[in-house]
Amino acid sequence: MKVLDSSRPAGREGAVEKPLPWVVRAAHREPLAATPVWFMRQAGRSLPEYRAIRERYDILAICQSSELCLEVTLQPVRRLGVDAAVLFADIMLPVMFGLGVGVRLVENVGPVVDVPIREAADLRRLRALPAEEAVPFVLETIRLLRRALEPERAVIGFAGAPFTLAGYLIEGRPSRDFLITKGLMRGSPDLWRGLMDRLTAMAIDYLRAQAGAGADIVQLFDSWVGCLSPHDYQAHVYPYTERIFDALRADGIPAIHFGTGTAGILPAMVAAGGDVIGLDWRVDLVQTWEQVIGPMRGVQGNLDPAVLLSPFAVVEQEARRILDGVNHRPGHIFNLGHGVLPETPVEHLQRLVELVHGT
C-alpha cells in the first residue's frame, strides 16, 4: 500500500517526525493514496494457525502470556496484509483483574459472571486496581507489538464500553434483550450510576494505559448498546461514554466509537465522541456519513461479515459498492460491520485486503 506524503512535517531544528500509521492518518482525515483496512476479530477462529494454538491453550492463557498473545495478534497481519494489529484480548479482562469480578470465558457462550451485580452490596465488593497492576500482561503485549510492527501499521487497543460491560455484569451472561439490565437501569438509578461511574473510570484508565504502552489508536466497543431506545441512551449511557471520549481527546489519543444495531441512536453516539464512528452493515455508510456523522469525523466500516461466506465475486461487488460510494474521501477506514466469522475463508480476507488497497 502506498501513501501520499509518507512522512510527517519537520519539527523543531528540522527534525523529521516518525510517520503516523495509516489508520491513524485516516482517523485524522488525511488524504491517502489507498484506503487502510483491518478487521474486527481478525485474530481468531478463521485462521488455522490460531486454531492450532487453541488446541493447546485456552483464551485466558493466551491473553496472560505476552509471547503467545503477540503471536496470535500478529498472525492476521502476516497472513492478510492488514494495516493494523488489533490486540487479542477479551473486554472482560480489566473487569476480572481490575475490579475483581469472577468471570469465566465460556467457549461458544461468552463471559459468564459468577455473582451478577444486582444490589448495592455487589457494587461495594468491587476493587479499583489500575491497569498497570491489574493487567500488566496486556500492556507488555502492546509494547512488544509496537516494536514488532512497521511504523505505518497501527497497534489498536480497545476496551468495552460501560453499558456493554454493565450488561454482562448485571445479566450474568450474554443476553439478547438485556431485560434485567434495563430494569436495574430504570428502577435502581443510584446503583446504576455507581456501577457506570466505576466502569467509566476503569475504561479511561485502561485505554490511557494502552496508549502509554504504545497503542496508536483505541476503539471503544459498545457491542450491545443498540438494544436501547434513543431516550434511554441519552439519559443513562451518553454521559459516561462522553466522559471517556473527553478524557481521550484531552490526552490526544485517537479513538474509534463502535456499536452494533445503533441506527436509532447514532446521532447521540456521534455527539458522545470519537474521532471515527464505526458503522455496522445495517446502515448505508455514505448516506450516514453525510447525513448523521458529518464531515468532521472519520468513518469505519461496514461490509456485512456474512458476505465473506459468499463466492468472492459477491464479496468484490459489495466491497466495491462501499468503496465507490466513498470515492477516496479522506477519513474512511475499511472494515466489516462486526467481527470476522469463524467460517470465513482466509483467502477471501486476503483478496479483500488486496482489493481495498488496489481500489
Where exactly are the structural domains of the chain? 38-299
pLDDT band at 17 (very low <50, low <70, confident <90, very high): low
Give which of 337, 339, 334 is closest to 279, Cα–Cα: 337
Average pLDDT of the segment spanning 4-9 = 37
Q: Report the topology of domain 38-299.
A: TIM Barrel (3.20.20)
What whole-number distance in Å separates Cα of residue 158 and Cα of residue 211?
Answer: 10
Q: Which residue has the cell 461496514?
A: 302
Contact (Cβ atoms closer than 8 angstroms) between residue 63 and residue 69 = yes
Left, alpha or beta for 327 (phi > 0: left; psi -120 to 50: alpha)?
Answer: left
Mean pLDDT of 137-154: 97
Active-site option among 25, 29, 41, 79: 41
Return the percentage of the chain with pLDDT > 90, whole number: 93
**Would the pLDDT of 8 be above 60?**
no
What are the residues facing 157 on neighbouring strands? 218
**pLDDT per residue as tens digits for the range 309-348:** 999 999 999 999 999 999 999 999 999 999 999 999 999 9
Q: Global pTM?
A: 0.94
Asked whether residue 60 carries a pLDDT value surpassing 50, the answer given is: yes
| Whether 321 is catalytic | no
Q: How far apart are CA 28 and CA 145, in angstroms?
A: 22
DSSP state of 307: G
Query: Is the pLDDT score of 241 beyond 70?
Result: yes
Nearest by Cα to 157 from 100, 79, 210, 98: 210
Cα-based angle 213, 277, 46 (whole degrees, multiple of 5): 70
Kindly state the DSSP code that residue 291 receives in the 8-state scheme.
I
pLDDT over threshold 70, residue 247? yes
Which pLDDT score is estimated for 294? Answer: 97
With 80 as the cut, is the pLDDT of residue 351 above it? yes
Phi first, then psi: give them for residue 159, nearest 5 degrees: -150, 155
Mean pLDDT of 81-96: 97
- pLDDT tens-digit series, residues 205-239: 999 999 999 999 999 999 999 999 999 999 999 99
Work out the average pLDDT over 239-248. Answer: 98
Residue 183: pLDDT over 60: yes
pLDDT band for position 3 (cuts 50, 70, 90)? very low
Listed residue (190, 183, 173) closest to 101, CA to CA: 173
Answer yes or no: 78 catalytic.
Answer: no
Catalytic residue among 50, 83, 153, 168: 168
Statement: residue 4 has pLDDT above 70? no
- Per-residue confidence (pLDDT) for residue 15, from 0 to 100: 40
pLDDT of residue 32: 96
Active site residue 125: no
> 5 falls in which pLDDT band (50, 70, 90)?
very low
**Closest Cα partner for 35 from 263, 351, 355?**
355
pLDDT at 356 over 60: yes
For the chain, what is the mean pLDDT?
94
Candidates 57, 90, 122, 146; catalytic one:
90
